[in-house]
Amino acid sequence: MTSNLFDLTGRVAIVTGGNTGIGLGMARGLANAGATLAIADRNSDNAAQAKAELEKFGHSVLALTTDVTDTKSVAQMVVATLGAFGRIDILVNNAGISISAPIEEMALADWQKVIDVNMTAPFICAQAVYPAMKAAGRGKIINIASVLATLGAGGAANYASSKGGILQFTRALATAWAADNIQSNAILPGWIDTDLTKRAKEIRPELHDRIIGRVPAQRWGTPNDLAGAAVFLASAASDFVNGAALTVDGGFSIQG
Ligand code: NDP
């Protein structure tokens, strides 16, 4: 047993969607625990700011322009990370989008886009990092689902379906790669204040107070509230945790 079960010194993590929101919150936690980071997003402007912030923890950060739905782009993400740091120990499949509409009005393209980013991309990324993790004899995959993975969400059927799918994919990964000493787990965030939920609040201004009223913690979560869960699932502290779903929602989903 190491002296600090949560120490990530010498470990290399890729965080998709790490330039903002929950991804950046988790990246801060991983960097603070000693990990070296690659963040992978489409928007290089945000990435420059996130890179500068994360480098204050003391390690150089690779900010990659990546579209996680594109197999070639993801292959480049893996090659660039291995080229810069020589290993990949941790993959956080965090990049996600939401396009809400009533089911009867939802465009097929909007259904498909959400499934592509939230559910198919984690499959693409996991497949791409597998050879490096298998060769190293260890790995941690963390998939960001949502409390909506297990709740009815009539106005966001594409999103809830993608998150239910990623939860089940996590369990499939956990069984498939356990023998390679790769643990795969999911985090189910509740309502977290980010650009994604800011957009939802612009459409439904009453959402802000409604959520505070429904969350036992009586507040929205912040991206940094996810940092501890990410460090736990990325570290030796979770070596016998595999296929789990860790809810981080201030008690929202156990509310009667
Ligand atoms: P944000 O909108 O703040 O951030 C989403 C991130 O994903 C951005 O960095 C964005 O970067 C990136 N991204 C989107 N599409 C792609 C793509 N095709 N390729 C690469 N990167 C992409 O959202 P959150 O931080 O709120 O969400 C992060 C994750 O947490 C998502 O999976 C979301 O579903 C999940 N979640 C969020 C909750 C919340 O309340 N906020 C609750 C439960 C789960 P760029 O645009 O530069 O590509």
Instruction: For ligand 1, pick from 14, 20, 247 the residue to mutate: most ligand atoms within 8 Å of CB.
Output: 20
Q: Is 194 in the pocket of ligand 1 (CB under 6 A)?
A: yes
Find the mean pLDDT for residues 228-255: 97
How high is the pLDDT of residue 235? 98
Q: Is 247 in the pocket of ligand 1 (CB under 6 A)?
A: no
How high is the pLDDT of residue 7? 98
pLDDT in tens, 146-193: 999 999 888 999 999 999 999 999 999 999 999 999 999 999 999 999
Q: Which amino acids are annotated catalytic?
A: 159
pLDDT band at residue 255, thresholds of 50, 70 and 90?
Answer: confident
Which residue has the CA at smallest separation from atom 44 of ligand 1? 146
pLDDT in tens, 114-134: 999 999 999 999 999 999 999
Q: Is 136 in the pocket of ligand 1 (CB under 6 A)?
A: no
Q: Is 34 in the pocket of ligand 1 (CB under 6 A)?
A: no
**Does 84 have pLDDT greater than 90?**
yes
C-alpha distances out from residue 33 to 6, 13, 91, 122, 239, Å: 7, 11, 15, 24, 16
pLDDT in tens, 188-234: 999 999 999 998 899 889 999 999 999 999 999 999 999 999 999 99
**Does 1 have pLDDT greater than 90?**
no
Which of 172, 125, 117, 163 is CA-nearest to residue 144? Answer: 163
How high is the pLDDT of residue 58? 96
Domains and CATH numbers, the chain: 12-248 (3.40.50.720)
Measure the CA–CA gap between 169 and 8, rounded to whole angstroms.
Answer: 25
pLDDT band at residue 45, thresholds of 50, 70 and 90?
Answer: confident
Q: Is 22 in the pocket of ligand 1 (CB under 6 A)?
A: yes
> How many angstroms separate the alpha carbon of residue 145 from the centre of ligand 1?
11
* Token couple for 160: 């809830």
